[in-house]
């Protein structure tokens, strides 16, 4: 694997700004995560991405009044949906100021005051110990170079007995040769710090003091997402200047190739704070 420049909160923010300028962070209907199909391939991508949010919510054992942290909240759609459907309070954090503004608008329009957002880095959270009953992280850990530090920080702010649900990409086995080049390309274009194997996910959680209760690879159920995203990115490229269109085309090609790779998995993990 070639050495990538370090991923930082600022580099993540800049990358999301570039994708947002091109319209790409709205390409899947506002959620910035994969969709989930459990049979009917005709389900539209925006509905399928909400289904993924609902799977995360199901795992959080929610009841009215619980306080949750959404780690890497994107445009705020998952936090607002979960807050509204389960009558819980969700605080979302992101390192993108533009996403923060979008999420606040989303909450004002649909959140009924139960979802709020702030700028914060997951490795240094501005919250007291045990402030939350639970936390979820949908495709955000992959941007963080020291995941153990972030997971330890989440453990600090979640009360004993609280749950953490993580949804994240995984590579089912280490990528070598041309596969490693594909993965390098993904890391570079999407400002990803790394894509873990299931064993690495398991190890990071354990190192940070979480007790894993379930890990399910739903990779085959989310696989159509990559093709949807690639098609949307190519559609956007048509209205961009030449340099931006080339970058968007490259992003689409990598997304599509990753989505076709048999070892491209996707894990849903539930862990409990002892």
Ligand X SMILES: C[S@@+](CC[C@H](N)C(=O)[O-])C[C@H]1O[C@@H](n2cnc3c(N)ncnc32)[C@H](O)[C@@H]1O
Q: How far is the CB of 95 from ligand X (least distance, A)?
A: 4
Question: 83: Cβ–Cβ under 8 A, 6 or more apart, which residues?
Answer: 89, 90, 111, 112, 114, 115
Q: Which of 66, 68, 82, 122 binds ligand X (CB under 6 A)?
A: 122
Residue 265 in the binding site for ligand X (CB under 6 A): no
Q: How far is the CB of 180 from ligand X (least distance, A)?
A: 22
Residue 94 in the binding site for ligand X (CB under 6 A): yes
Which of 78, 162 has the CB closer to ligand X? 78
Residue 270 in the binding site for ligand X (CB under 6 A): no
143 near 114, Cβ under 8 Å? no
Which of 117, 211 has the CB closer to ligand X? 117
- CA nearest neighbour of 219 among 143, 175, 179, 168: 168
Residue 33 in the binding site for ligand X (CB under 6 A): yes
Q: Which of 15, 140, 147, 197 binds ligand X (CB under 6 A)?
A: 140
Which of 89, 139 has the CB closer to ligand X? 139
Which of 109, 211 has the CB closer to ligand X? 109
Which of 53, 197 has the CB closer to ligand X? 53
Q: Helix, strand or coil for residue 75? A: coil
Residue 125 in the binding site for ligand X (CB under 6 A): no
Which of 120, 182 has the CB closer to ligand X? 120
**Are β-strands 67-71 and 89-94 bridged in parallel, bridged antiparallel, or unpaired?**
parallel
Query: Which contacts of 104-112 are long-range, i.e. CB under 8 A and separated by 24 or more positions?
Result: 104/76, 106/30, 106/75, 106/76, 106/77, 106/80, 107/76, 107/79, 107/80, 110/80, 110/84, 111/76, 111/79, 111/80, 111/83, 111/84, 112/83, 112/84
CA distance 71 to 35: 19
Q: How far is the CB of 51 from ligand X (least distance, A)?
A: 12
Q: How many residues bind ligand X (CB under 6 A)?
A: 23
By CB under 6 A, name the binding residues for ligand X: 9, 12, 16, 31-33, 72-74, 77-78, 93-96, 99, 121-122, 138-140, 143-144
């Amino acid at each position: 694997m070639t050495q990538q420049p370090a991923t930082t909160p600022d580099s993540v923010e800049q990358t999301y700004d570039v994708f947002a300028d091109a319209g790409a962070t709205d390409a899947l209907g506002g959620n910035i995560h994969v969709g989930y199909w459990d049979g009917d391939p005709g389900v539209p991508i925006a509905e399928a991405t909400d289904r993924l949010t609902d799977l995360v919510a199901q795992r959080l054992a929610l009841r009215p009044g619980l306080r949750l942290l959404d780690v890497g909240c994107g445009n705020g759609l998952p936090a607002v949906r979960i807050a509204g459907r389960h009558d819980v309070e969700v605080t979302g954090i992101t390192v993108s100021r533009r996403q923060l503004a979008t999420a606040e608008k989303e909450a004002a329009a649909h959140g009924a005051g139960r979802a709020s957002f702030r700028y914060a880095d997951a490795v240094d959270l501005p919250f007291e110990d045990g402030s939350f009953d639970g936390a979820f992280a949908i495709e955000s850990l992959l941007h963080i170079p020291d995941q153990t530090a972030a997971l330890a920080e989440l453990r600090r702010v979640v009360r004993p007995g609280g749950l953490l649900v993580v949804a994240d990409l995984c590579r089912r086995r280490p990528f070598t040769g041309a596969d490693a080049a594909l993965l390098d390309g993904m890391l570079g274009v999407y400002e990803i710090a790394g894509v873990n194997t299931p064993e690495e996910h398991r190890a990071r959680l354990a190192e940070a003091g979480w007790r894993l209760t379930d890990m399910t690879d739903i990779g085959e159920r989310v696989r159509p997402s990559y093709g949807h995203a690639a098609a949307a990115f190519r559609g956007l490229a048509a209205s961009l200047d030449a340099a931006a269109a080339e970058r968007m085309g490259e992003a689409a090609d990598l997304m599509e190739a990753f989505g076709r790779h048999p070892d491209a998995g996707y894990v849903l993990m539930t862990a409990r704070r002892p």
